[in-house]
Chain A
Amino acid sequence: MTKFTTKRVGRVYVHFLPHTRFRTKDLTIRLHIPLKRENVTQMALLPYMWMNGTTSKPTTREIMMAADDLYGTVVRSSLGKRGEYHIMEVGANIPDVSALTEEPVVEKALALVCEILLNHGPNTAAFSEESVRQEVDLHRRRIEAARDDKMGYALQSCLAEVASGTASALPRLGYLEDLKSMNSKVLYEAYQSLFHSAEIHAYLVGPYADADALSERIVERLSPVLAGETAAKMRVEPLPTGQRQSFRNVTEHQDVAQAQLDLGYRTGVNFSSESYPSMLMMNGILGGFAHSKLFLNVREKHSLAYSVWSHFDAMTGSLAVMTGIEPKQYQKALDIIEEQVQAIQRGAITDDEMDFTFRGLQNQYTVLLDQPSSLTSWHYNGVLCGEHRDIEQLLQQLSCVTKDEVVAAASQLEPSTIYFLTGEEDAK
């Protein structure tokens, strides 16, 4: 059900999965390159720049008009980060309007997406000085606005501390201080260097009548730009472990009404690891669900928080516990969270916790089958980690995880960082 067919020419891969259940045709093109301090900011700007105009559609407005004319096709470009890689994405969600029109909506959408990625010259549209000035200004605000979402900001800060010393710690959006040196030349060079080194994966999921022919056309369009160079295989590794035995405390003061307390661990396990299924179970029992230990103890039993979860990053293998509390409850919340981790480590796991967590994960992964974009992301996880997992196969593996394996996974939690974001006046 989730088997993609792949075509490959050099660094270009096209994966397709025709799916007649959907009304949305999902087309996604992703490029990944290693994060580097010296170019992280210019690379981060690129996907935003592309939407400012192409050679033949010199403004955002013209791009958006072309998309709206295709029955509200959503064209997008975005920037992601997985482990130590930057991910640039362009794509389209195309409504299946074959019953309403004979217009070649898919062909036109594909052409538009490729144009957004490929058709830019120096000093034209996206890379004009005016466009660069505008985008640098917007990017400054983007970086600043990330601080306004306190929960997200705290988690990112905590994860950066956990990854400290590795490329994974570099911020997705880059640095404010780099923005002053951005100009069209710097950015255009970054754009060209992206094509010299990136690995590129295109995805087609949905009710495509002619996915095979369409994937040929994607290869035709992309190959010339990427020809001649072979990139080294770029694969995500989990953060190394064996470096710490106790938490490092990091406290930040901001003017906030609610404090954020996040605990970060390294696990040494990621999507490609054999123990990935048992780590998923462990995370679920700890804090992935409303039946999990954290929710029941921190929230339901002690009313310390509205929100308390644990989050396991399938790429870096870092695990973060996050919660919003009253600043004066710091010690109590911390003690309760640590007690829950220790409980799993010593095997205090009930049959219900095992069963409910398995069933919860089963539900989460089965639901992915109903979502074209999730199927793409799932497959791409495999690309990044060099190990393709089938959803059905993972479900089978999860059903076999034993309590001992969950305890073993919990014993791999290596304490890294206690990150506390609290009010300017608050002392612990």
Chain B
Amino acid sequence: MTDSFVNSAEASQMQVIERTLDNGLTVCLIPKADFQQTFAMFATKYGSIDNEFELDGKPVRVPDGIAHFLEHKMFEDDEQEVFSQFAEHGASVNAFTTFDETAYYFSGTSDLRENIDTLLNFVQKIYLTDENVEKEKGIIAQEIRMGDDNPDRRVFMDLLSAMYAAHPVRIDIAGSVESIYQIDRETLLKCYHTFYHPSNMMLVIAGGFDPLQVMAWVTENQARKHFPDPVEIKRIYPVEPKEPKTDASTTVLPVSLSRCLIGWKDTVDGLAKGELLRRELLTGLVLDALFGKTTAFYGELLRDGLIDKAFSWEYELTDQYGYTVVGGNAPRPAELVDRVKTHVRDAVNRGIADEDFERARKKAIGRFLMSLDQVSYVARSYLTYRLRDADFLQTIEVLQSLQLEDANKRLKEHLSEEQMVVSTVLPKTEAAS
């Protein structure tokens, strides 16, 4: 066991007690005195993009959507329903799978020890039968169909498919109805044993509790279990070209409003260790200064009926992929794209105004402080960043260190037209006319 240490991000006045246990599990505790709720999240660094890896020196390719399928199956237990085990102690449990993580979490206000034990125990035990694997396919197929009817999800996934030529971030997290029917018990077990080793996992707990006590409970729980020695996980990712696969994608759906997303593919080669949070926050300031609700550009788009108030921007970055997405509901997508292109070109030439940059920074600081009122958000963000080797609680310090010239440099290198991709969903009626 490595020594625990206290990491305190001064500006956020938050404290994290972190410890790596003998079996390799990293435990992070974020006490929030006086809060009723405790939110615990147990995650593995294993998501939908991990569909190829090396096992016993040989490459294994597994069906798309398997990480998400496994997430569903972890709730299966041969003795007592997992949901009931939490319900018995008044906690609500759920899980999600993203491109690069699978996380299980509960929120509760009592019986903390029992709930922590249940969380650790159900994720660290697998119970699969051919029958219960088959049964899940119908449920997941309905989940996928639900997504098919959702134009916002479709326009986003179409954007990533157009942007990425080979990298599995282009594939829907849940896979497809076809791919999930190829999943069997044996392959699920293979993935489970590869990626659910404690050394590839992390437990983050935030809320009103005594951290020393909780650390002792977790340590005790883990000491009772035996795991094989960790093996190095070798993930296999295809070589992804720097440029987007294609510059546009259009889908026709039975919706009443068209959607349009404009994306820029980022390069992750050369992203130095520890640089992730800085790049993410800096890009956020650039995007807010360019597309935020206080920009004249946003007002003009609204006035001209090219967007509505759901227009937004987003930036996502990992060591595998990075992209900016701007857009939303768009009655005249082609016009919107032209305007965005011109706006970015002008911004690159003129540079971001100092006052716009400062306003964006001030706003980001305030929004971060308010987010600390939500223990679920704190736990989730801390965990996701930590899995990506970044410290979420350094947000204010990093924001305060950013300079306008960094922002202008970032704007130039990231929002280039060669890296731009457009995804549109058109209503059936419009496409027919």
The residue in chain B whose Cβ has the minimal distance to the Cβ of A147 is B256
What B residues does A97 contact at CB under 8 A? 365-366, 369
Shortest distance in angstroms between B300's beta carbon and chain A's nearest beta carbon?
10
Chain A residue nearest to B375 in the complex (CB): A370
Q: Does B409 contact A (CB under 8 A)?
A: no
Partner of B257, one of A148, A299, A355, A362: A148
Bound CA span A357–B143, Å: 26
The answer to whether A23 and B370 have CB atoms under 8 Å apart is yes
Q: Which residues B302-338 have CB closer than 8 A to chain A?
A: 302-303, 305, 308-309, 329, 331
**Closest Cβ of chain B: how far from A262's Cβ, in Å?**
15
Of residues 125 through 178 on chain B, the ones whose CB sits less than 8 Å from some CB of chain A are 135-140, 142-143, 145-146, 148-151
Partner of A306 from the list B84, B109, B143, B375 (CB cut-off 8 Å) is: B143
A258/B145 contact (C-beta < 8 A), A360-B92, A370-B37 known: yes
Chain B positions within 8 Å of A137 at CB level: 305
**Chain A proximity of B53: nearest CB distance (Å):** 28
Interface string of B81-98 (1 = CB under 8 A from A): 101100111111100000
Interface size classification for chain A: 35 or more
- A394 contacts partner chain B, Cβ-Cβ < 8 Å: no
- Which residue of chain A lies nearest to B309 when distances are taken between CB atoms in the complex? A138
CA distance A352 to B80 in the complex (A): 12
Whether the pair A359, B87 counts as a contact (CB closer than 8 A) is: yes
| Cβ A291 vs Cβ B83 within 8 A | yes
Q: CB within 8 A of A363: which of B83, B92, B138, B143?
A: B92
Chain B residues contacting A22 (CB-CB under 8 Å) are 373
Docked pose: A151 CA to B299 CA in angstroms: 32
User: CB distance A359 to B363 under 8 Å?
Assistant: no
Q: Which residues of A contact B (CB under 8 A)?
A: 21-24, 59-61, 64-65, 68-74, 93, 95-97, 100, 130, 134, 137-138, 141-142, 144-145, 147-151, 254-258, 289-291, 295-296, 299-300, 303-307, 324-326, 352, 355-357, 359-360, 362-364, 366-367, 369-372
List chain A residues, Cβ under 8 A from B145: 257-258, 324
Is the pair B370, A24 in contact by a Cβ cutoff of 8 Å? yes
**Whole-angstrom distance between the Cβ of B128 and the nearest chain A Cβ:** 15
Q: In the complex, are the beta carbons of B367 and A72 less than 8 A apart?
A: yes
Given contacts A134-B305, A257-B149, A360-B90, contact A61 B298 (CB under 8 A): yes
Please indicate the chain A residues that have their CB under 8 angstroms from the CB of B362 in the complex.
68-69, 71-72
Is the C-beta of B237 less than 8 angstroms from some C-beta in chain A? no
Given contacts A141-B329, A359-B89, 13 further A-B contacts (CB under 8 A): A24-B370, A60-B302, A68-B294, A71-B366, A95-B367, A134-B303, A151-B146, A289-B92, A307-B142, A356-B84, A356-B87, A363-B91, A370-B35
In the assembled complex, how far is the CB of residue A260 from the closest CB belonging to chain B, in whole angstroms?
10
A141, B82: Cα distance in complex, Å: 43
A142 to chain B: which residues have CB within 8 Å?
308
Contact A93 B370 (CB under 8 A): yes
| Interface pair A367/B109, CB less than 8 Å apart | yes
Residues of A within 8 Å of B257, CB to CB, are: 141, 144-145, 148
B371 to chain A, nearest CB (A): 9
Interface-central residue, B91, B329, B363, by most chain A CB under 10 Å: B363
Question: Is B295 an interface position by the 8 A CB rule?
Answer: yes
Q: How far is the CB of A75 from chain B (nearest CB, A)?
A: 10
CB contact under 8 A between A303 and B139, given known A71-B362, A352-B84: yes
Beyond A24-B370, A68-B362, A366-B109, is A291–B87 a contact (Cβ under 8 Å)? Answer: yes
Pick the contact of A366: B36, B136, B256 (CB < 8 A): B36
Contacts of B9 in A (CB 8 A): none
Contact present for A306 and B299 (CB under 8 Å): no
**Closest residue of A by beta carbon distance from B331:** A141
Closest 5 CB pairs of A and B: A72-B366, A255-B254, A71-B366, A359-B90, A72-B363
